[in-house]
Structure 1
Amino acid sequence: MKVIRKIYDFIPKYAIKPLILCVLINFSVYSGARLFYKNRVFHDLTTNLDNSIPVVPIFIVFYLGSYLFWIFNYILISRISEDNCYRLAISDILGKLTCFIIYITFPTTNVRPELTSTNVFVDMLKFLYSVDAANNLFPSIHVLVSWYCFAGIRCNKTIPLWYRYFSLFMAVMISISTLTTKQHVIADVIAGVVLAELTWQFSLQLQLYKLKKLIKQEA
């Protein structure tokens, strides 16, 4: 019981189910979309501008480090208030489901570079290529989630200003890392930011996050 209390001290009880649901939706969308890819025609959205962006292996640190950033900020956003937690969850789910629809109706891919040199960052990038197929690209979920991490705290004055700026910095650097690791192209990044903003604002306008109150009342 002491362990559970400690967890609740860090992650509010009301946030447990919404955050777990976000994780489950993420894996379901990412893996589920690939079930529809057999014999499909894939579109390559790579432009000349994308081709001019060099591979910068050290940016793999931002790309893989994004997972820690996501975990921390999703919990931080959820701790602000219960409404904020549900708004984040609704936005996240709407964004991921939109990604799923786009992935299966307009599948995209890109051509990854051949990495001939070797160092710790190149080896990490090679490993990423070996475990992550070049699909599920447009919009970029990496960018989508990173932008939620910034959007969820940018106007909240209970969060120190320096950390709000740091979250913006991380969201931008993670977005850049998707390009410099050749995991994504510019169109994927733009679509990720736009989708995050649309779903974040959409959830506020419709106040979908307040549906939890109706659910609780009916229960």
Structure 2
Amino acid sequence: MQLPAIRAGRIGLALLLGYLLFCLLYLGSHALRLQPPVALQRGSIDAAIPLLDWSIWIYLSQFLLLPLAIVKARDDADRSRVFYACLLATLIAASVFLIWPTQLQRPAQPTTGLTGLAWALLFARDVDGNCFPSLHVALATLSGLALWRRGWRLLACSWPALIAVATLTTKQHVVWDTLAGTALAVLAWILTPRLFRYD
């Protein structure tokens, strides 16, 4: 499939359209899910991971990581690849959310200070489902792949890894979600140049 390349002069528009498509797929799959959500159970590893209220800031830092990876991509080809890989990962995940919706019980959230505000904003804008696979981890991993190709190896490994851990310490996902999110990122990264051409 032929798609427009994401060039340096179009980044702002691409980010806006990409976010709108993400919202349509992510929220739309939740609204139209074909069956009641399956309640995921936390395993022994999940139970051993503590709830760290402050790690919400690491969790939310993905909204900086993703645009950074697109803005600072090595070239237009890499920029286009990470952009369309993120959309492909979102489409695949949304298909799973639609057919097999999953849900976790949300933790009690702090109500004071900036950290309380961050939790309130997350719960106000996010849906209480769409757990498996973790799209949060998938998009962070794809961003890391783009930064790795840019040559920012330490950042490419550490930031997505911290976000993946934060999905567990905020109790937004379980271990299986994060592993599935990583696999989804690798699949989308491999498939994107095989399915799409950027002109």
Which TM bucket (shorter chain)?
Answer: 0.7 to 0.9
Query: What is aligned with 2:198?
Result: 212
Query: What is aligned with 1:83?
Result: 77
Query: What is aligned with 1:46?
Result: 42
TM-score by length of 1: 0.77
Give the AA of the match of 2:22: N
Query: What is aligned with 1:178?
Result: 167
Range moving further from structure 2, 164-173 or 33-42: 33-42
Q: Report the 3-state secondary structure (helix = DSSP H, G, I; strand = E; otherwise coil) of the residue aligned with 1:152.
A: helix
User: Identical aligned pairs, as a percentage?
Assistant: 24
Query: Quick one: structure 1 residues 126 and 48, their matched pair in 2 at CA, closer, same or farther if it must change by over 3 Å?
Result: farther
Is 1:125 paired with 2:119? yes
1:110-189 equivalent positions in 2, closer than 5 A = 110-115=104-109, 120-122=114-116, 124-156=118-150, 159=151, 163-189=152-178
Specify the structure having the higher radius of gyration (Cα).
1
Deviation of 1:38 after TM superposition, in Å, equals 7.6
Within the candidate set 19, 22, 28, 1:23 is matched to 19
Q: Aligned equivalents of 1:99 and 1:40: distance in 2?
A: 17
**Unaligned stretches of 5+ residues in structure 2:** 1-6
Q: Report the 3-state secondary structure (helix = DSSP H, G, I; strand = E; otherwise coil) of the residue aligned with 2:183.
A: helix
TM-score by length of 2: 0.84
**Higher helix proportion (structure 1 or 2):** 1
Is 1:66 paired with 2:88? no
Q: Aligned equivalents of 1:107 and 1:12: distance in 2?
A: 37
Q: Aligned equivalents of 2:37 and 2:173: distance in 1?
A: 18
Give the AA of the match of 1:184: H
Deviation of 1:132 after TM superposition, in Å, equals 2.7
Deviation of 1:153 after TM superposition, in Å, equals 2.7
1:86-101 equivalent positions in 2, closer than 5 A = 86-101=80-95
Q: Report the 3-state secondary structure (helix = DSSP H, G, I; strand = E; otherwise coil) of the residue aligned with 1:29.
A: helix
**Unaligned stretches of 5+ residues in structure 1:** 1-10, 214-219
Number of aligned pairs? 193
Within the candidate set 98, 106, 123, 1:104 is matched to 98
Q: Report the 3-state secondary structure (helix = DSSP H, G, I; strand = E; otherwise coil) of the residue aligned with 1:95.
A: helix
Q: Aligned equivalents of 1:89 and 1:117: distance in 2?
A: 35
Deviation digits for residues 43-76 of structure 1, max 9, x if unmatched? 3142222122110111111012221122212211
Give the AA of the match of 2:163: I
